[in-house]
Structure 1
């Protein structure tokens, strides 16, 4: 009789104690996937605890933002994107209106946290690339500054020249000075009208004054992190300017100035941003460069943030700086390095070039014009013609101009040599013979000789109308 074989077990029952056999009989074994084993191995190593790669985390964040936007639409937060201006004057009921219209601050705080995180990441990446030598501020020596100051003190020896030779340039300059005088007269009238008795002015609540004085103390010691909420609402207030000066901007830290510029460039309208750039940012930048001979990293980033409101930057920062006769070469080199790195619309740049070309000459203006020429814009004919007249105005000058002027002249010829008419080429060739530099002028003459006239004599650019519209925005 054949004996029946017992089923062979993979594991003998005698290999384990009785209590463990009972546990295995009651509980099923859990299989570990390859991903779980990888995660466990990473945790056991102790070197890296990252379990989600960068691509997956970006997808998760994008999905979370979409869900948050959908929830905001359902709850009615989508219509509160446009912020109104409010006043903090005593006895004003606008604060009550704001509290009724604006919902709870939790969604706004979440978006602010996201923007703050993005801003910190940008600052970290910029700091890694930051190098003071990249600005070339050390290339400008004290001797060069002294020579430029002495040159600007020299009067042009043009007494024997007939006035007809300068009729075009004098007309442009007179128009510019008349417009500037009219603008200053308007400002003086507005200031005189605003100087009314203190009793007729709306008085600001004393509690508000105490709050913004405390904000000024925080901003003077600020290094990183969140800024006070009272400062965040400044750009949308009607009486923002007196409250801003209660915080004493001249005592702010560099990091606080960056955060303030970031707020005004994002939340304020163009007129308020222009006013902030002119009254607060411009003096602080000039003082920092004059004291330390270079620009702080946070102030450098503040200038880059200010370019988000490009029209306000030109009208409130760059053009007033060019109008000042005491703008140093070091300031021009540092600021032009930021303009060279950032993308600027062609119409705004064209209007700025037109204004700078009509201003009295200075070394800083040549640096800014050279920076704009190197961007290789397709300029309107009006701007090219104004630049040609800018250089032709030095035809009868007997002074020997510095290398800055010759470098700017060479850059202009190299970039736009094919956009000149035959008459302009002849005039520029005569200018090169009169204002001669042994190393630069031969290159200018060679560029003019090999240039090709692409346009007929009666050619006019179609975008001159767009150029006039953009120029009116700069006025």
Structure 2
């Protein structure tokens, strides 16, 4: 006879309903051993191997060649305007650490944000007619520091006020040597962490004097973006305004003038500066309009950034008010049109200032550019019901003096079909004139 096998209930798949009452009671009182789980050792094939950079580059190169060969065989030619995407094998976390802010959720492809700007030569010539013939002399951070150093010590102490003016102090030679070495790093910076000595500059009392040692005009575009992130996050509005005006704005204008477009890192720097809208308007936009020599390309690029970013209404209203009170140049129309398109509920004081700005051109005998007519049309379309009857009549008179063969009729139609803010029944007192 064969050996009898014991009934091991713990190992047999038997339902409780098939057992008797006594067996169920014994099973509940007995101590059962749990099944042992065997841990298998991972085989060599299952290990995740890390491929070094050289082998990864070779693999990508071969894959790109095979793709090009397939495209040639099937008769598909790649457009010239499309650039191959750059594959990054490293992590970019180091770039966003210790910066005091969260990173921007912006795609790596810069073509969607920093597109090539096409400028009409005729519009550019028309804009140059309204530029200031004697623009103010550009002052750099080094010029201001040297001017302060040449003044008497007693005059400096009497003129400096806490948190608003430049503090000039004697710097130790060791600190000077350290920041001169940082200058070499910033001139060649592409990605990664910045030196900690540079990150503490915004917390120093004489931060402008220390910053001048690093020579901001020699920074790379990537270093300018990282510096803008640090200074925007750690400086108050007044000090951030000085940084934007003395360092960021001259660099932006020089880059546009040299390359006829804006570098992607500088584009991100402007977007980052908009986190402090008051400092941005006072340090970048308003000085650009007051200079009187803002080119059409600069105005288009800056206005495109304004259109894509969210700006609080009060800061935008204050900027519209200031631009409307300035002496006219062509760039003002571009910025006003961009801010009008945001469709803010502007206060009546700002509306009245803009209307006064346009009505003032009744005494101007020059041929106004198309940009002026476009900005006026945008203003009328957005705020036609926020003007008074008297202002509407003055604007109708303005349209008889300055006309455009396509835009003026549209502006007149918008005014005639609108209801003024001081009219209750909606009837307009302005009659259409031939």
Residues 232-271 of structure 1: pairs in structure 2 closer than 5 A = 232-271=199-238
The match for 1:294 among 237, 261, 264 is 261
The match for 1:147 among 126, 134, 142 is 126
Deviation for aligned residue 1:287? 0.1
C-alpha distance 339-257 of structure 1, shift in aligned 2 (>3 A): same
Residues 414-442 of structure 1 deviation map (CA, whole Å, 9 limit, x = unaligned):
00001111111111111112111110011
Deviation for aligned residue 1:450? 1.0
Q: Does 1:195 align with 2:151?
A: yes
Counterpart in 2 of 1:6? Answer: 4
Deviation for aligned residue 1:149? 1.5
Residues 69-468 of structure 1: pairs in structure 2 closer than 5 A = 113=97, 118-119=102-103, 122=104, 125-128=106-109, 130-131=110-111, 137-150=116-129, 152=131, 195-196=151-152, 202-455=169-422
SS of alignment partner, residue 218 of structure 1: helix
Q: Is the 8 A contact 1:418 1:454 kept in 2?
A: yes
Q: Is the 8 A contact 2:295 2:331 kept in 1?
A: yes
Q: Is the 8 A contact 2:100 2:230 kept in 1?
A: no
C-alpha distance 140-314 of structure 1, shift in aligned 2 (>3 A): same
Q: Distance in 2 between matches of 1:250 and 1:153?
A: 26
Q: Is the 8 A contact 1:366 1:405 kept in 2?
A: yes
SS of alignment partner, residue 441 of structure 1: helix
Residues 62-73 of structure 1: pairs in structure 2 closer than 5 A = none
C-alpha distance 9-224 of structure 1, shift in aligned 2 (>3 A): same
Deviation for aligned residue 1:28? 4.6
Residues matched between the structures, number: 333
Q: Distance in 2 between matches of 1:313 and 1:257?
A: 16
Counterpart in 2 of 1:29? Answer: 36
C-alpha distance 344-389 of structure 1, shift in aligned 2 (>3 A): same
C-alpha distance 197-27 of structure 1, shift in aligned 2 (>3 A): same
Deviation for aligned residue 1:116? 7.9
Structure 1 length as normaliser, TM-score? 0.63
C-alpha distance 384-117 of structure 1, shift in aligned 2 (>3 A): closer
Q: Is the 8 A contact 1:137 1:294 kept in 2?
A: yes
Deviation for aligned residue 1:350? 0.7
Q: Distance in 1 between matches of 2:177 and 2:47?
A: 54
C-alpha distance 234-6 of structure 1, shift in aligned 2 (>3 A): same
Deviation for aligned residue 1:285? 0.1
Q: Distance in 1 between matches of 2:397 and 2:169?
A: 64
Residues 66-118 of structure 1 deviation map (CA, whole Å, 9 limit, x = unaligned):
xxxxxxxxxxxxxxxxxxxxxxxxxxxxxxxxxxxxxxxxxxxx997375895
C-alpha distance 148-111 of structure 1, shift in aligned 2 (>3 A): closer
User: Which moved further from structure 2: 418-427 or 283-292?
Assistant: 418-427
Q: Distance in 2 between matches of 1:30 and 1:452?
A: 82
Q: Distance in 2 between matches of 1:405 and 1:266?
A: 37
Residues 118-156 of structure 1 deviation map (CA, whole Å, 9 limit, x = unaligned):
52xx36x3323x216x556522144432332145489xx
C-alpha distance 195-117 of structure 1, shift in aligned 2 (>3 A): closer
Root mean square deviation, CA, Å? 3.6
Deviation for aligned residue 1:239? 0.9
Deviant stretches of 4+, over 6 Å? 191-194
Structure 2 length as normaliser, TM-score? 0.69
Q: Distance in 2 between matches of 1:433 and 1:290?
A: 38
Q: Distance in 2 between matches of 1:244 and 1:404?
A: 39
Q: Distance in 1 between matches of 2:38 and 2:418?
A: 77
Q: Distance in 1 between matches of 2:285 and 2:216?
A: 20
Q: Distance in 2 between matches of 1:323 and 1:441?
A: 28
C-alpha distance 378-288 of structure 1, shift in aligned 2 (>3 A): same
Q: Distance in 1 between matches of 2:230 and 2:398?
A: 48
C-alpha distance 114-250 of structure 1, shift in aligned 2 (>3 A): closer
Q: Distance in 2 between matches of 1:194 and 1:385?
A: 46
SS of alignment partner, residue 117 of structure 2: helix
Task: Name the structure with the higher helix share.
Answer: 1
